[in-house]
Amino acid sequence: MFDTVTQKFDLLIGDVFVQKNDNEWAKDFKKQMAGRGFTMVNGVTVCVTLIDPDQSTPIALTIVPVARRLSPIKREPRSRHEAEQVEFMEYRAFFGPKAGFRWGSHIINGIIGDNRGKLPAKWIAANISNDS
């Protein structure tokens, strides 16, 4: 029998950077995104940090690539489940060539799904930087 251990973390969405081009991404990664109908051109990268609330110290940090859909979605999602399906997402976090992208991508896709397949407006309003 195993004891259940619960650890709580605070989630911090840090900087959100617009990607003006996709030059810095590997060709196979760009091909993976394009195959699903997405591009990093005018997509964003999102800094995600998990913080230990007791110590106020970062536990994990990752930069998540969030690609933009190339063509419009056919209709708005009718449920949260649909909003997490690739065909209803205007933006989608992709699992990059580095393993660290994976956990952050799952979190970001869940947030996008909660927001009906779109990036949260408060990220755009408060955190976006055009310096990339």
Is residue 38 pLDDT above 90, yes or no? yes
Secondary structure letter of residue 78 according to DSSP: S
Q: Residue 5 has what pLDDT?
A: 82
Domain that holds residue 49: 10-129
pLDDT tens, residue by residue, 88-131: 999 999 876 565 568 899 999 999 999 999 998 887 765 555 44
7-21, 35-49, 117-131: range with lowest mean pLDDT: 117-131
3 assigned to some structural domain: no
- The closest of 16, 18, 67 to 40, measured between CA atoms, is 67
48 assigned to some structural domain: yes
Q: Residue 132 has what pLDDT?
A: 42
Cα within 13 Å of Cα(21), Cβ side: 3
Is residue 3 pLDDT above 90, yes or no? no
Q: Measured between alpha carbons, how far is 37 from 56 in angstroms, rounded to an integer?
A: 39
- Average pLDDT, whole number, for the chain? 85
Q: Measured between alpha carbons, how far is 90 from 79 in angstroms, rounded to an integer?
A: 15
Q: Residue 100 has what pLDDT?
A: 59
Q: Residue 15 has what pLDDT?
A: 83
5 assigned to some structural domain: no
User: Sheet containing 128-129: which strands, arranged edge to edge?
Assistant: 91-93, 57-69, 38-52, 10-18, 128-129
